[in-house]
Chain A
């Protein structure tokens, strides 16, 4: 086969891939719209005041691992202690931070050392000390040697007392209703619902302002953060809700995931063998329950539960997204036995193939298309006008996906003023030209890192604040 034939074949493959991805997006989007309508209407029939005061709402242990979070940890823990929920405890795990995280916690929450004899149900590194807050006895702080996020979560779980655990990030500031809104779904069907996750928004400085009121959220003045906000919106609203509808919700976000504790115990806790624990654990839950033929639902909700810190420079963004790509590839590879395996139901037949198509293969086809497009033009296989028009069509289709995500989110929350929504919708088509190239690079880097066997976290450095600028 000559160069002409190879390039022609590659162009056709790229087109087929692109068409498959958009078709998959369209199908999942339809399911997401249905799920969004259902959950929004369901939420409107709930009496939240009664639930917030009820003794029958199941108690929850919130576990928050923290590694070098001195800037935001106090705000994050304050927001956790202010949650509107009848009975819960907060277990913060300082995972051997090398900055002032522990000092900030001690000072802000008036910690006193109070040792307890705990059950070692999950393996974890050496626990140095256990503290309880004099200010709020619901707060327990575990100080341990560094072992990674999964290890820190396991240490926190060893001290968690309640039947449900909510794993959160310590760089996320939560809204007061977060736990109540999420737990209402678990309370409805505790036998089948083993996990619940919900949407988080993004900010450069999540600790600033109180965005939980309708209309009180504002978009950032930095385009990079706003592109990430759109990315989060599309991921949560357009994808995860649809996955929930078809019962293959394969990624509970690390920033906010509720699990039935007995399920975590049964599966042996979070695994340090993977770069990230969240997606791997969700895959493991589905694999385990479906293999045994037991009922299992992991639900993603459309409501925003908090704001997490997003990287504010391209270097930090690349570092974070390369890690995400590596984690996805690691996990999908590890659980490849579920791929197109009818034993695993919708997870095996739809969920894992969807991941392979949209996430794992994306960097491969992106690299191919970058190489092939100029060659195809040079060989006269595609005209310059076609190329530009197709790029424009792709940009507009991305804009459509963005608009639908914004529309659904806005219908449920009315969180942003109209001017901000218009701004975000105008950014939608630009995403392909200004934001996607960064992600293309990060995803390709992540794939290479996976092939090299890299397992490091590459935590991005905290964004600059007024105090440390």
Chain B
């Protein structure tokens, strides 16, 4: 397997979305190709770091304010356009 072929399958490999035979071919490649091993490992870390990062958390006071505004608008919408029964 060439490194470019490995890279093409990297997303499926990391997501565990490969059949056993293809996965085994990729595992074999990783066992001897240090560069692909590093790319694979650091890509997995990239995903984990972003997943665990708390970027753009919604502060609780803003959250309450937004929810209240949403429900007020929904209530106004209901009054102006009541659901047909």
* Chain A partners chain B: no
